[in-house]
């Protein structure tokens, strides 16, 4: 049981506190756990902590991705291509979900008289464009001009490319056939490529363009029967795993029939011209020499694949495969 102090003593204690500490001695104290309430922007870096040296020279981001640059009072941003990348006042980059693979934008960051340009390249990660269908890794972007189809990435079995047309170029055979067809974008580009070759004194011929799933199935099974499974897997594609089914690939030939679909085609005038100029029209040599372990297929200097001019020039100038082109791709960031 607590004992109560006499009233006189309590009054004396109060007067003593006033005399010793002044009026402040009577001020109520704040609870120990009370803290100032945070306000919007409290987590933003202070102006003194902003350094443009922390801003990268370049970034690779997927369509729909978001990334935040350093921000604070006095920092401004500008995008050279708002249809590809926008940037908010808080430094958040937003890549359009409709941005084409290979498209670029330059984001300029300025602060206190300093300036930094950041080149943004749009690429999805390969992992983000494939899903399992009946136990088979199947691409989710079959209509994309830069879709990667290989032994590990199949097209849907019922896939038929949009807008298949016949390019106005000479072929090594006569008569109508599905292998004369290409997607319209690739067909128009092939016409320009063949026309330029002719101006340079080079005669090229189309050999085989689009192949349906069923056509590829028949070809592959024929190779297995006549030359064995190992040879078939090295030089041909299983049904659903052929680039020809995309309508974006075509085999071409020159005037020497002995090099038709043979490696020595690379050493002919036609083969050399094709390797040097195909990227100008949006094509790449798809299966490069020494890259068999990456592409899964033997060297084919006659097999060209349409990917668009920007991507083609980057791939051919750097000597990489289509698979390697995507190695530095970024995932879409979750919000």
Q: Are 168 and 190 in contact (CB under 8 A)?
A: no
Active-site pick, 300, 310, 323, 324: 300
CB atoms near residue 206 (< 10 Å): 21
CA-to-CA distance for 149 and 332, rounded, in angstroms? 21
| Residues in Cβ contact with 188 at an 8 Å cutoff, skipping those fewer than 6 apart | 167
User: Is residue 300 among the annotated active site residues?
Assistant: yes
CA-to-CA distance for 27 and 45, rounded, in angstroms? 36
Closest among 100, 243, 126 to 182, alpha carbons compared:
243
Closest among 274, 294, 296, 297 to 285, alpha carbons compared:
274
Q: Are 160 and 179 in contact (CB under 8 A)?
A: no
Closest among 114, 83, 107 to 96, alpha carbons compared:
83
SS3 206: strand
Closest among 179, 167, 193 to 275, alpha carbons compared:
193
CA 214 vs. chain centroid, Å, equals 30
Which residues are part of the catalytic machinery? Answer: 300
């Amino acid at each position: 049981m607590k004992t109560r102090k006499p009233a006189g003593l309590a009054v004396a204690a109060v007067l003593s506190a006033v005399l010793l500490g002044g009026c402040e001695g009577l001020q109520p104290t704040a609870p120990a756990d009370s803290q100032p309430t945070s306000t919007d922007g409290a987590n933003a870096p202070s102006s003194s902590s902003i350094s443009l040296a922390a801003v990268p020279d370049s970034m690779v981001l997927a369509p729909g991705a978001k990334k935040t640059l350093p921000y604070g009072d006095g920092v401004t941003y500008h995008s050279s291509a708002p249809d590809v990348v926008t940037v908010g006042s808080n430094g958040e980059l937003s890549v359009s979900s409709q941005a084409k693979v290979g498209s670029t934008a330059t984001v300029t960051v300025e602060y206190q008289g300093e300036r930094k340009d950041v080149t943004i390249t749009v690429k999805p990660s390969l992992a983000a464009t494939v899903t399992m269908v009946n136990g088979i890794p199947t691409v989710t972007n079959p209509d994309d001009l830069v879709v990667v189809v290989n032994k590990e990435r199949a097209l849907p079995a019922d896939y038929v490319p949009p807008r298949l047309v016949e390019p106005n170029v000479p072929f090594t055979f006569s008569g109508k056939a599905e292998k004369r067809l290409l997607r319209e974008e690739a067909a128009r580009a092939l016409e320009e490529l063949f026309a330029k070759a002719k101006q340079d004194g080079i005669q090229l011929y189309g050999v085989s363009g689009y192949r349906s799933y069923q056509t590829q199935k028949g070809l592959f099974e024929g190779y297995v029967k006549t030359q064995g499974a190992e040879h078939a897997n090295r030089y041909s594609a299983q049904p659903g795993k052929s680039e020809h089914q995309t309508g974006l690939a075509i085999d071409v030939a020159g005037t020497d029939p002995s090099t038709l679909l043979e490696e020595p085609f690379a050493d002919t005038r036609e083969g050399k011209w094709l390797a040097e100029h195909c990227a100008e029209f949006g094509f790449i040599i798809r299966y490069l020499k020494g890259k068999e372990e990456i592409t899964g297929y033997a060297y084919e200097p006659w097999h060209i694949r349409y990917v668009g001019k920007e991507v083609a020039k980057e791939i051919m100038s750097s000597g990489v495969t289509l698979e390697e082109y995507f190695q530095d791709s970024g995932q879409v960031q979750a919000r």
